[in-house]
Amino acid sequence: MISLILHGGAWNIPNEIVGAHRNGVSLALEKGWKILERGGHALDAIEQTIRSMEDDPIFDAGKGSFLNELGEIELDASIMNGTSLKCGAIAAAQNIRNPISLARMVMEKSENVLLTGLGAVRFAKEHGMPVCRNDDLLVPRELKRWKELQQSKSFSPKDSFRADLPSDTVGAIAMDEKGNIAAGTSTGGTPNKHPGRVGDSPLIGCGTYADSQVGGVSCTGWGEGIIKVVLAKTVIDHMEMSGADGDAAALFGIERLKKKVDGYGGIIVLDKNGRPSVAFNTPRMARAYRTSEMNAPFVEV
């Protein structure tokens, strides 16, 4: 069975932009699915699925990302091959249009797992990846939001998930026809974050994990809380050690996030057989999935 599941963030998505989120995850699913249908590798499907959402300004990844306190865009991403356990990630990197592609480049063209800031951008240039201007990733909506947040003295990143501020981290997990499972996550982080802040998305085991013998996970939500409970690996370990299915494991992860650190967010899971699962404790979560056993894709916000 081939399978693909993706998310476009978990938060209180307002009614007026539900359609845009639905369209964004639907288009991304279609792009990744075509690769799997043609016999492509799970990594290729993941990269193109996430690139589609990075290019869509409705999400907080790539174009349309949040601004930090200084009005800059810093991006995080990670990707993992569940068969070899090779992985790559970048964090707090500026001027990168598609962070997931740079994360894959780190995985495949270096012995490193995580590169940050100027080092990540230097690596991109050394390997021929074009960089862009900060303004190329900036959209008017986020500039307006940033200006408003400069007037607030009580805002904390956790408010993004409790209130109506967006949290549109994106992620995906795929299983190809050979049974390879791959997972990836990409984000612009939290609104008005401190420069250099790194969340869960680029941290293997926190925001992303894949093991083809067990399954794959991608997380979205309050990054600091997700890091504290090592959420992605917690879900994988629960499946492996207890024999839990993806539904039970995803729910276990969300319950632990809330119980241990009062955290908010969402989880997508593929088990080793390609069955997709979702759990979240926010009002809404943009997600989509399809397997070769389904007659049509599932898309929901």
Tell me the average pLDDT of the chain. 95
Which residues have a catalytic role annotated? 169
- Rounded mean pLDDT of 264-292? 97
pLDDT digits (tens, 9 = 90+) for 206-253: 999 999 999 999 999 999 999 999 999 999 999 999 999 999 999 999
- Rounded mean pLDDT of 157-182? 80
Question: Residue 276: is its pLDDT beyond 70?
Answer: yes
For every residue of the chain, DSSP letters joined together read --EEEEEEEEE---GGGHHHHHHHHHHHHHHHHHHHHTT--HHHHHHHHHHHHHTSTTSSSSTTPPP-TTS---EEEEEEETTT--EEEEEEE-S-S-HHHHHHHHHHHSS-SEEEHHHHHHHHHHTTPPP--HHHH--HHHHHHHHHHTT-SS--TTHHHHSSS----EEEEEE-TT--EEEEEEE--STTPPTT---STTSBTTTEEEETTTEEEEEEE-HHHHHHTTHHHHHHHHHHHH---HHHHHHHHHHHHHHHH---EEEEEEETT--EEEEE-SSEEEEEEEETT-SS-EEE-
pTM over 0.75: yes
- All structural domains of the chain, each given as residue ranges with its CATH number in brackets, are 3-296 (3.60.20.30)
Most confident of 10-14, 118-122, 281-285: 118-122
